[in-house]
Amino acid sequence: MSTSPTQQHQKSRAKKAAFAAFIGTTIEWYDFYIYAFSVPIVFDVLFFPEGTDRLTAIAAGFAGTAVGFLARPLGAVIFGHIGDRWGRRPALVMTLTLMGTATFMIGVLPTYAAVGVAAPILLVLLRLIQGLAVGGEWGGAVLMSVEHADQNKKTFYGSFTQLGNPAGALMATSLLSLLVGVFGEDSFADFGWRIPFLLSAVLVIVGFIVRQKVEESPVFKTETAAVQQQNIRQKAPLISALHENWANMLLGVGALPVATGGYYLITTFATTYATDPSVGHSETLILNALSVASIVELGATILFGWLGDKLGRKPVIIGGSIATALLGPPMFLGLGGDNVVLIFLLVAVLRLAMSATYGPMAAAMSQIFRPLSRYTSVSLTYQMAGAIFGGLIPIAATLSFQATASIWPTIGMLAAMCALGAVCMGFAPQRQDTPSQPTLRTGEATA
């Protein structure tokens, strides 16, 4: 059956939006992971006083990660306002530029040996800027990919946004592993660590060009036209989000612990645990294992996005939560052993399971909310979950391991997060977009 020119244009537009979302989020997550993986490798030495206990320094480094996470809700408010009022595309161009600039600046920072306490202070400030940028990035990229897609393909196209996470992680771990191998650990700590941060400038230029070519969201244009036609002044997006969507936002936060905090447990904290002297694995080994797992996750994310359209988003996400809870203990216990093949396999299999919680999540989160104030609602929900679970869980895991010398408290955290995510996703609503029929209602705007 042939397709009409209109249908062909819509399909082409959806593909461009999905590709732009993928490129943009890949760059943003690359920037974020370069820091996260550098903390247990070199930042614990470069940005803290000589002689500081390793785990204490790493916990302080993860506190820099937490600052970035805690800044994300503010970024969600700022860029959500821009995205709900002036469009998804301008907000996304701003977040990409801001993130790339902050990452580049980390690459030229002086170390503690050069400027003393000013070094970690400057590092935290730049992490704050990165957090603001990421706070507005995910929600906008999700909406651009999901709102351009047909109703029966929203989960599939939305999963391209989710590909940015494993792709960014793959770029970060592969490049760090390569540079550690080329420079050696000592030379890498002297200068080589700066290279991944400086490369961010090139990536941002590429992402900027790609995003400039994407049309504005058709759902946003429809809703904006409805507001203008009825000559009604909207509430501020944040006020509208909190007034209309607060209950669904809480459900959304509860549905996201595995997709946010769980991911950092099995990547950044797992690196800390596996390279601890009590375990004894090399940084290169763990980075390579994470790189292989990221390749697996790239394919699995698209697969689970496709399955989300066929079987339903909720069953796929809930099933992934259950599988993650079951596979968490073998993965962490395997990291404590000497079987390299088993380590690679367990890390990859657990990331495969977590892809089921992450791949369909873009469409699931966007469809919890109606289009009005959706950018703000989606962004704030995701970033509050990130601040709570992604920002605090790695610190809690590191400190609990320091206090107990046991991995079981971390395993318990992951299991509890899986249970919470499955229950909340079960209760979360899923709406349908009808771009040709505006969803504006009298109660959603005020004169």
For residue 236, what pLDDT is reported? 82
The closest alpha carbon to 28, from 142, 131, 145, belongs to: 131
Q: How many CB atoms lie within 10 A of CB 86?
A: 13
Q: Are 133 and 383 in contact (CB under 8 A)?
A: no
Structure tokens of 255? 């549905």
CA-derived radius of gyration, the chain: 21
More confident residue, 399 or 447: 399
Q: Are 224 and 84 in contact (CB under 8 A)?
A: no
What is the C-alpha to C-alpha distance for residues 386 and 288, in angstroms, rounded to an integer?
A: 26
Q: Are 135 and 75 in contact (CB under 8 A)?
A: yes
- pLDDT tens digits, residue range 115-162? 888 888 888 888 888 888 888 888 888 888 898 888 889 999 999 988
Q: Which residue has the tokens 């651009």?
A: 144
- pLDDT-derived band at 227, boundaries 50, 70, 90: low
Q: Are 308 and 363 in contact (CB under 8 A)?
A: yes
Structure tokens of 376? 């703000």
State the average pLDDT over residues 24-51: 77
Q: How far is CA 94 from the centre of its chain?
A: 17
Q: Which ranges in 39-153 belong to alpha helices (H)?
A: 44-46, 54-85, 88-106, 112-115, 118-147
* pLDDT at residue 293 is higher than 80: yes
Q: Are 12 and 135 in contact (CB under 8 A)?
A: no
Range in 211-220, 245-254, 362-371, 375-384 with the lowest mean pLDDT: 211-220
The closest alpha carbon to 83, from 73, 98, 95, belongs to: 95
Measured CA distances, 38 to 61, 85, 180, 234 (Å): 9, 37, 11, 44
Q: Are 120 and 169 in contact (CB under 8 A)?
A: no
- pLDDT tens digits, residue range 296-332? 988 999 999 999 999 999 999 999 999 999 999 999 9
What is the C-alpha to C-alpha distance for residues 295 and 291, in angstroms, rounded to an integer?
A: 6
Q: Are 79 and 141 in contact (CB under 8 A)?
A: no
For residue 441, what pLDDT is reported? 41
Q: Are 308 and 316 in contact (CB under 8 A)?
A: yes
For residue 436, what pLDDT is reported? 45
Measured CA distances, 187 to 175, 204, 328, 435 (Å): 15, 27, 35, 56
DSSP for 198-228? HTHHHHHHHHHHHHHTSPPPHHHHHHHHHHH
Q: Are 428 and 312 in contact (CB under 8 A)?
A: no
The closest alpha carbon to 155, from 306, 378, 320, 318, belongs to: 306
What is the C-alpha to C-alpha distance for residues 38 and 400, in angstroms, rounded to an integer?
A: 21
The closest alpha carbon to 356, from 413, 312, 318, belongs to: 318
